[in-house]
Structure 1
Amino acid sequence: MHTGDLLTELLIQCGMTHVFGVPGAQTSALFDDIVCCDASYVTGWGMLFYQVGRAGKVILAPRGSAGLGFGIPAAIGAACARPRARIIALCGDHGVSYSLSELTTAVYYGLNIKVIVFNNQGSRWIDHYHRLTFQGTGEPFRWGNTDFSKVGQGFGCLGIRVEQPRDIAPALRQA
């Protein structure tokens, strides 16, 4: 199976349901130029499935503590540094909530970024840790199904909700 097919399947299995991008941005392929991973599970998925096609800093990810919210600001920084590059931010629904307001900055400056939100309706890494370490239920770390496509639209972005694997590539081309 091709890595792209595996990633598509994983995105759906893990709850990726939303893609939004800044109006006017162009996409030709998933992860074409620079990928900015937020903290938590999405960092692992990005590192596991992103195929580096050239030397240089093409994948950015926080390491260590307190990395939630890194994805969108990192994408903004990458877009400012390389304005003609295509930038993808991979974010979980919890992590993206830390920096959603930065979408206003991206729209204001017309930055060429796309944000993919893995919406698994909670903070699953903390949920996982809570269950393993404290024999908890993880319930405090789960919440409802926020429609991030509408949230993105509220900031002036094109918002596209994706629920089927076959719809990911067309959504990225449209964003």
Structure 2
Amino acid sequence: MKSPYTEIQKFNQWWLWILLLAVLGLPVYGMFQQIILGEPFGSKPMSDFGLVLFFVGTLLMIGLFWYLELRTEIDKNGIRVRLRPISSESFTWDKIDEVEIITYGFVGYGLRFSSKYGTVYNTRGNKGLSIRLKSGSRYVIGTQNPEKLKQCLLGLKKSGLELNLGGI
């Protein structure tokens, strides 16, 4: 069954990619200077093999950012969130006490743990779906489409699903 709400977010902020490419420039420049030109890179140069490992590690880190994806799905069964390849959670409606669309303070990007918000899944911005479980656990899932998310939740409530929508 297709979810009535699906949102896929990637880390595609221009400034992040400029920063990552700038970081990649360091081992590239170091390899060029030390391996190609034969001049030591820095006052205490690492080995050629170390520079190559630094380059490969930086490429792997950039590849991880390229691969990271925050996927949120909401339907009559519940809410599913996945930060590929790091974590995933699934909440059925009978375990959820309240959901609410909130504006929150900056907590960082990716998977974060906050004393104020609980577990936070975020790629950018400050809007998100706050989930409070009956167990007391709290989660926030960042969104770039708060209006579409609100309409989905209101539609599920209209269809007869027992939802506590907080301030929505």
Under a length normalisation based on structure 2, what TM-score does the superposition of the two structures give?
Answer: 0.28
Q: More helix by proportion, 1 or 2? A: 1
Which structure's CA Rg is the greater one?
2
Higher RCO (C-alpha under 8 Å, 6+ residues apart): 1
Under a length normalisation based on structure 1, what TM-score does the superposition of the two structures give?
Answer: 0.27
Q: More strand by proportion, 1 or 2? A: 2
